[in-house]
């Protein structure tokens, strides 16, 4: 037990060569490293107006019961979600964030020798979940510049890569970090075209924002497509990223499989009560969506004024082509107390992903960017 160099060789092949997920820089890190204060974090697509006061109150009220294990079946939250989606609670799987459900899906359907198909620039968690399960990830090149969803999922190319070993296809609608989206009819045709040995996961983490653009709620199609799984989260529009709750909607048969391997208490009691209460406050969601729409327009105009190109977005974030290496811009923003997200891990060395903030936060970001672009004579 003296040779430490070989520990990597003991790891399973899928894990050995993985790159860890790179989260947005926490505010406390920036305070420590740069000594700046009044920091704005526009790096993890969190809700800039926070969470519903109704949810916060429910969590405070459930604090005294924290010594007890949570309801492992999530009865109340599943009931509230079932009512909201007009579905049977047996179709719902709760997760410690939707990330948890994505991993459960990969664990349930993938193994070495299997393939999973996803798009270039897709959400970074898919390849991690796929590789950790030992399966082969098939990354399909994204749409080219001549397409109106430039950098988005190329469904025809993805379909062409579905083969006899394919067990899973991941689609984020809209996608993070690109903000691109897929309309109902091409998505429906794509799902209908898949062979029976393929489970298709449609990740609707930003559904509350994208709904107004006509991006479909594919849970409506579950009765027609038994191998379809839809994932949703409380981390984005609901403003509850810190308590970690997400869920999937699927056939009861798929939910049953996921239930067998999940941790028995994978959603904690504060999360259960907070999420259940949050569902009742749809006025809060409407306000979050309203603030976001204004913020998207504001940021797109401010970035355009600086000559920075952006992609259209159906989410609460914007992918911006900085027109130069992104890391010095990112660091210039950090020095001014603004955290955004570099996306070099997606192969995008000149882009930054900027989460939409409040009007004031967006203005501060634009001013900070203005200083960088003016100082460098651009």
Ligand X SMILES: *Cc1c(COP(=O)(O)O)cnc(C)c1O
Q: Are strands 341-343 and 348-355 parallel, antiparallel or unpaired?
A: antiparallel
Nearest to ligand X by Cβ — which residue? 97
**Smallest gap, in angstroms, from Cβ of residue 174 to ligand X?**
8
- The residue with tokens 């179709």 is 91
For the CB of residue 330, give the shortest distance to ligand X in the complex, in Å. 19
Please check whether residue 155 is in contact with residue 187, taking contact to mean a CB–CB distance below 8 angstroms.
yes
Least spacing, CB of residue 139 vs ligand X, in Å: 16
Is the Cβ of residue 116 or residue 172 nearer to ligand X in the bound state?
Answer: 172
In the complex, the smallest distance separating the C-beta of residue 310 from ligand X, rounded to whole angstroms, is 18
- Work out how close the CB of 240 gets to ligand X at its nearest, in angstroms, rounded to a whole number: 9
Binding site for ligand X (CB under 6 A): 45, 97-99, 123, 172, 176, 203, 205, 233, 235-236, 241, 246
Pick 100 or 302: Cβ nearer ligand X: 100
Q: How far is the CB of 203 from ligand X (least distance, A)?
A: 5
Nearer Cβ to ligand X (277/372): 277
Q: How far apart are CA 254 and CA 101, in angstroms?
A: 12
* CA–CA distance, 337 with 167 (Å, rounded to integer): 44
Q: Which two tokens stand for residue 114?
A: 């299997």
118 or 190: CB nearest ligand X: 118
Q: What are the start-end ranges of the H helices in 46-109?
A: 53-62, 75-85, 98-109
In this complex, which beta carbon is closest to ligand X, that of residue 45 or of residue 336? 45
Select 247 or 373, whichever has its Cβ closest to ligand X: 247
Six token digits for residue 132: 């950790």
Return the number of the residue (117 or 372) whose C-beta is nearest ligand X: 117
The nearest distance, CB 112 to ligand X, in angstroms, is 25
Q: Which is nearer to ligand X, 110 or 369 (CB)?
A: 110
DSSP-derived secondary structure letter, 141: P
Distance between CA 164 and CA 195 in Å, rounded? 9
Question: Residue 119 or residue 133: which is nearer to ligand X going by CB?
Answer: 119
Residue 82 CB, nearest approach to ligand X (Å): 19
Nearer to ligand X, 240 or 326 (CB): 240
β-strand pairing of 199-203 with 309-310: unpaired
Q: How far apart are CA 222 and CA 255, in angstroms?
A: 12
Helical (H) or strand (E) element with 9:
helix 7-10
Shortest Å, Cβ 375 to ligand X: 32
DSSP for 193-238, please give it: HS-TT-EEEEE-TTHHHHGGGT---GGGGTTT-TTEEEEEESSSTT
Helices 53-62/269-280 angle, 10° precision: 150
Q: What CA–CA distance (Å, rounded) separates 139 from 271?
A: 34
**Angstrom distance (rounded) from CA 26 to CA 257:** 35
DSSP assignment of 23-63: PPPPHHHHHHHH---S-EE-SS---TT---HHHHHHHHHHG
Helix, coil or strand: residue 83: helix
Tell the smallest beta-carbon distance from residue 361 to ligand X (Å). 19
């Amino acid at each position: 037990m003296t040779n430490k160099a070989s520990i990597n060789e003991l790891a399973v092949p899928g894990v050995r060569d993985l790159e860890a997920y790179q989260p947005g820089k926490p505010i406390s890190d920036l305070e420590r490293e740069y000594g700046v204060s009044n920091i704005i974090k526009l790096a993890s697509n969190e809700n800039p107006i926070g969470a519903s006061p109704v949810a916060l109150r429910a969590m405070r009220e459930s604090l005294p019961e924290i010594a007890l294990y949570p309801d492992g079946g999530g009865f109340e939250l599943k009931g509230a979600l079932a009512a909201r989606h007009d579905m049977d609670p047996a179709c719902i799987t709760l997760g410690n964030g939707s990330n948890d459900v994505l991993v459960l899906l990969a664990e349930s359907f993938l193994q070495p020798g299997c393939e999973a198909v996803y798009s270039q620039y897709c959400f970074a968690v898919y390849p991690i979940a796929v590789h950790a399960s030992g399966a082969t990830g098939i990354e399909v090149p994204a749409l080219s510049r001549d397409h109106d969803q430039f950098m988005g999922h190329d469904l025809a190319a993805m379909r062409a890569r579905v083969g006899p070993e394919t067990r899973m296809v991941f689609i984020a609608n809209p996608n993070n970090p690109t903000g691109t989206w897929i309309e109902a009819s091409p998505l429906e045709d794509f799902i209908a075209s898949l062979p029976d040995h393929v489970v298709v996961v449609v990740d609707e983490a930003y559904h509350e924002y994208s709904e107004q653009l006509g991006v479909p709620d594919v849970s409506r199609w579950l009765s027609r497509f038994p191998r379809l799984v839809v994932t949703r989260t409380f981390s984005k529009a609901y403003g509850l990223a810190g308590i970690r709750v997400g869920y999937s909607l699927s056939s009861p048969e798929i939910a049953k499989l996921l239930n067998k391997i999940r941790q028995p208490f994978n959603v904690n009691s504060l999360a259960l009560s907070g999420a259940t209460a949050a569902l009742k406050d749809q006025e809060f969601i409407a306000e979050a969506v309203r603030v976001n729409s204004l913020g998207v327009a504001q940021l797109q105009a401010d970035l355009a004024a600086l000559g920075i190109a952006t992609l259209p977005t159906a989410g609460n974030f914007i992918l911006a082509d900085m027109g130069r290496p992104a890391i010095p811009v990112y660091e210039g923003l950090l020095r001014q107390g603004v955290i955004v997200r570099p996306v070099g891990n997606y192969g995008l060395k000149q882009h930054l992903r900027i989460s939409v903030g409040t009007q004031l936060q967006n203005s501060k970001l634009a001013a900070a960017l203005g200083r960088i672009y003016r100082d460098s004579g651009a």
